[in-house]
Amino acid sequence: MNGRTNAEAGAELHDARKSTGGLQVGRGITADGWGEYLHGDVGQVRAFAGALTGSEIALLG
């Protein structure tokens, strides 16, 4: 909340999907399928398996 973690926060992912391919950055899904390509540059990408704790987030800076 307000950029801070909440130890009691949670989420139910009823429609969670497992990856069937590589991670794609800068794309969005539309009614017709994948598109909406990023028009620009990506300087850095970080991907994590799961949510980070407050301590882990603080270490990112």
pLDDT in tens, 4-55: 566 666 666 666 667 777 777 888 888 888 877 888 888 888 888 778 888 9
Q: Is-contact 46 60, C-beta < 8 A? A: yes
Residues 52 and 37: their CA atoms lie apart, in Å, by 27
Q: Does residue 34 contact residue 27 with C-beta atoms inside 8 Å?
A: yes
| pLDDT at res. 24 | 78
Q: CA–CA distance from 6 to each of 18, 40, 55, 58 (Å)? A: 26, 34, 12, 14
